[in-house]
Chains A and B, each alone.
Chain A
């Protein structure tokens, strides 16, 4: 794949290095000449000094044939604009933006950015997983199909405890794909699998059903 990375900071650099090792064609766009030099010395001729929010720069690097643009500068607004220009001017099929403010996620999705990665939210989700409120941890979003893979710990006071997966109509369009028991370890669930408190389950669910799922599994 031809992947353009907007922003050659730490995230952009490591992303480029890993994607190059997977044999993708990579181009990093970075404003700061020092960062450009560092990346070029390390990774070779894969960096262009410029502003990824400018259509002219994107034109120069052949964005029209890019499969993906990943915007990982340190500013939400710059990542948004780079993705929007890639989408509207160059019809790039996949745009991914890094965001810092979790509230921006909804807007970016509304504006057609294909995926957002919010480190603030990821950190929060991991902290909250260890808290007694047992929320759902979103693992992966399949936006095109409106599905989400989530991980959740079954709370002791959930009405699911002691029930067989088969005789509990969990949710329409939700599927439990993995149950990791505290003692039993990971197992592929059948309809006879009995859920116990503290089991961790991985579930495919329809986007928008998370709240319902959370309340059933956590008893909150």
Chain B
């Protein structure tokens, strides 16, 4: 699969490493090249400086041939904007988006974007760890 990941934070970099290892073609975007230090050693994908909410930058990253677009920057709204550009402007078949705010996450899920809220999944995992 051709995968574009927007945001090279801990999650973005880790996910990029996983997909690269599995043999997928990965392109990771971040507005700060310093973020690419988080990529695992031996990462074989492409790392590009660019703003994922800008169509030109997305085209440069190869969005027209992407099978999957993942938005995992720190900003919920930035992720939502980029995800909707990928889905509605470039018709990327699979668009996944991280949204910390559970209410917004549910709303965008209803609007047809695959979303995940670390707030919900994280608390759930912690609750299970606590037990009792």
B55 touches A78 (CB 8 A): no
6 further interface pairs, Cβ-Cβ under 8 Å (given A53-B77, A55-B103, A75-B77): A54-B103, A77-B80, A81-B81, A88-B111, A103-B54, A103-B56
CA distance A76 to B78 in the complex (A): 9
B74 to chain A, nearest CB (A): 12
Chain A residue contacts of B103, Cβ below 8 A = 54-56
* A23 adjacent to chain B (CB < 8 Å): no
Chain B residue contacts of A89, Cβ below 8 A = 107
A80 touches B77 (CB 8 A): yes
Chain A residue contacts of B53, Cβ below 8 A = 76-77, 101, 104
19 contacts between A and B (CB under 8 A): A53-B76, A53-B104, A54-B103, A55-B104, A75-B77, A76-B53, A77-B80, A80-B77, A81-B76, A81-B80, A81-B81, A89-B107, A101-B54, A103-B54, A103-B55, A103-B56, A104-B53, A110-B89, A111-B84
B111 touches A110 (CB 8 A): no
* B101 adjacent to chain A (CB < 8 Å): yes
B73 to chain A, nearest CB (A): 10
How many chain A residues touch B (CB < 8 A): the figure is 21
A54 touches B101 (CB 8 A): yes
CA distance A77 to B84 in the complex (A): 11
CB closest chain-B residue, reference A59: B103
Encode contact with A along B45-86: 1 for CB under 8 Å, 0 otherwise. 000000001111000000000000000000111101100110
Chain A residue contacts of B85, Cβ below 8 A = 107
* B127 adjacent to chain A (CB < 8 Å): no
Q: Which of B77, B89, B101 contacts A107 (CB 8 A)?
A: B89
Encode contact with B along A64-77: 1 for CB under 8 Å, 0 otherwise. 00000000000111
CB closest chain-A residue, reference B53: A77
* B37 adjacent to chain A (CB < 8 Å): no
Q: Which of A55, A81, A110 contacts B77 (CB 8 A)?
A: A81
